[in-house]
Amino acid sequence: MKTDTQPENPLLQEWKTPFNIPPFDLIKPGHFKPAVEYAIEEARKEIDEIINSGEEPGFHNTVEALERAGSLLNRITPILFNLNSSDTTPQLQTAAREVSPLLTAFANDITLNPDLFKKVRAIYEKKDNLDLDAEQLILLDRRYRSFIRGGAALHEAEKEQFRAITLEMSTLSLKFEENLLAETNDFTLHLTSEDDLAGLPEGVREAAAGLAKERDVKGWVFTLHAPSYVPFMQYSDRRDLREQMYRAYVQRSFRGNEHDNTTLVTRLSDLRLQLARLLGYNDYASYALEERMASTPGEVNSFLARLLEASSPAGRRDLHDMEQYARDLGHTGRLERWDWAYYSEKLRLERFKIDDEALRPYMPLGKVTEAVLGLATKLYGLRFTENSNIPIYNSEVTAWEVHDGDKGVIAILMLDFHPRKGKSGGAWMTGFREQSRADGQRVIPVISLVMNFTRPTQARPSLLSHSEMNTFLHEFGHALHGMLSDCTYESLSGTNVKRDFVELPSQLMENWSWEKEWLDLWAMHYETGEKVPENILNRLKESLTYNEGYACMRQLSFGLLDMAWHTLQEPFDGYIVAFERNAMASAELLPYVDGACMSVSFAHLFSGGYAAGYYGYKWAEVLDADAFSLFREKGIFDSGTALSFRHNILEKGGSREPDELFRAFRGREPSADALIERSGFNRL
């Protein structure tokens, strides 16, 4: 791998590390641009060999060769973009900005190459006579469609327009993410009086004191990162401070400063429309949904409308109950958005005798980690061994070998749990290397889970809320999809599936967070060793449908906003706040907040790949509720059901169509009945 032109660049050298993991300690931001430039040139040579081959175009010498081309580039780029999200610096952000247009231009050079497209099209047109297996047919179909969707059939002038649009889109998406991170980091609530902490549990106070100490100030510091923001909104008795925190959160990147995303949102929306129109679609959603299970805007909108109709009575009931409860506690005036989490947590405690903070001592992060990994052992026979010799990108990260019986190590799993200045908010699964087969041997994937959980303090370990534990399970479901993948081609492996199918494994895993049979195995008080009392576990399960109407409508409002942006058929020309309020109105229950704008911080849509796809979370809930109903019928640890899910879903990645995979597991088409039942919408 070492080259004469870049001998000192670790990105281009052979990695003599365990499992060929990137040598993070040797890689510097300045290495990325020259390494990517070199790798692109190597990839061009590989592409030229395909084009200039004198052989008759065939699946192996064209489609499969194209799949393998650019392997060096594919080794380098995940490192840059993963670090830019999980452990960034200004230097890394600069590197990402420098590299992104190079990658976009190169991708366009492939799909817009007429000679290459001619070969791929010739193979596609005779695919029925090539004796290809199912995965090969999927690869051929995806490759051909990627050319069409990548502008291969456009005229030369249109191709140049396509290049300009995609280049600008890639640059703006990166800028959107940078701005949002800067805005999230920019705000702090610094408190110096005990009176300001009224209602906050001791653990929340300790964490805030720890943040203050880190920043060398007296008192307590709260931020907009989830482990600080969420419990503050749930427990602070100081309504004025809750309002201050809420307004800061919803005004991120909407303050008219250098990190304002308003122009980026409208420009990205317009560029996406231009792209779609150029390729012959009415709007961007029509273009994007062509590659989804729900294949048209009409199908998505009908799906959202059906769920909205089913959930609205429950949502209005939830709002009425909350308003009445708040009045009973002395609240006057209308219920505002900064009141919801506060009264919701109090009512949940009163109704079910369950307090998220009271559950934390039973869910220390170390024990949760052991339990989540142990669940994969129980279901799929996997065994996890921490290996301190595996390179990591931050000292807080841990690396694990994933063993599968006599198959040995089948994956490497990295766990990155806590917020820091260079890490984006939220939680996600990603990969430094995806699974594939090379020379008949399985290439093991390197999977990373990046989260923002409550940090430990001097007095106590990191204690997770039930919601945080649920997030861990969700992302671990994605990890299983990546780790258990057993496909030939990298572009079809793991989570490389249709966007509205990718959330099935993750959301399925969430179901165990409510199951007494699993929680009873491990949830113990970190000091006394006492198990969670049985009556609390029972009430936890009973609380599953608590405020589910409100929660469903809130999620649907995000899907409606997504579809509104991406079904525009004319360039956006209006006030962004008015536009989004109109889009979300049918699913909103609480008053609007002046100065708030969601679109400018909606990273899923404008920097995260979910454009015209946010409905997929609810779509996948239909699939996961239906799938888990089989586990409930057979037993939540039933090995036969787990083996079927592994074989038919997790191992297959995108090597089959998702509806085919679901039918193979469930024995029929998916039904929304299980979701409606689980949500309690049919029990009003």
Residues identified as active-site: 475
Residue count (the chain): 684
Where residue 598 falls (left for φ over 0; alpha for ψ -120 to 50; beta otherwise) is alpha
Distances (CA, A) of 629 to 545, 625, 666: 16, 6, 10
Decide: 507 and 621 in contact? Cβ < 8 Å.
Answer: yes
Decide: 140 and 59 in contact? Cβ < 8 Å.
Answer: yes
Distances (CA, A) of 439 to 23, 436, 489: 25, 10, 12
Print the SS3 string covering 149-205: HCCCCCCHHHHHHHHHHHHHHHHHHHHHHHHHHHHHHHCEEEECCHHHHCCCCHHHH
Token representation of residue 583: 């889009």
C-alpha closest to that of 181 among 422, 419, 393: 422
C-alpha closest to that of 241 among 252, 253, 233, 231: 233
Displacement of CA 412 from its chain's centroid (Å): 19
Helix (H) or strand (E) holding 308: helix 297-328
What letter represents residue 58's amino acid? Answer: G
Strand-pair category, 446-450 with 428-433: antiparallel
Helix (H) or strand (E) holding 641: helix 639-645
Strand-pair category, 409-416 with 382-386: unpaired
Distances (CA, A) of 352 to 311, 356, 419: 22, 11, 31
Q: For residue 524, how many other CB atoms are within 10 A of its CB?
A: 17
User: Is residue 664 classed as helix, strand or coil in its secondary structure?
Assistant: helix
At 70, phi and psi to the nearest 5?
80, 25
Cα 402 from Cα 481, distance rounded (Å):
13
C-alpha closest to that of 681 among 316, 346, 340: 316
The CB-based long-range contact list for 381-384 (8 Å cut-off, 24+ gap) reads: 381/405, 382/410, 382/483, 384/413
Cα 134 from Cα 440, distance rounded (Å):
18
At 114, phi and psi to the nearest 5?
-65, -35
Cα 509 from Cα 504, distance rounded (Å):
9
User: Is residue 340 classed as helix, strand or coil in its secondary structure?
Assistant: helix
Cα 134 from Cα 59, distance rounded (Å):
13
C-alpha closest to that of 627 among 673, 662, 678: 662
Token representation of residue 136: 């090969």
Cα 340 from Cα 348, distance rounded (Å):
12
User: CA 40, 42, 43, 47 torsion: positive or negative?
Assistant: positive
Decide: 599 and 650 in contact? Cβ < 8 Å.
Answer: no
C-alpha closest to that of 598 among 620, 583, 619: 583
Decide: 653 and 534 in contact? Cβ < 8 Å.
Answer: no
Strand-pair category, 398-404 with 220-223: unpaired
What letter represents residue 636's amino acid? Answer: I
Token representation of residue 330: 């002395």
Decide: 435 and 487 in contact? Cβ < 8 Å.
Answer: yes
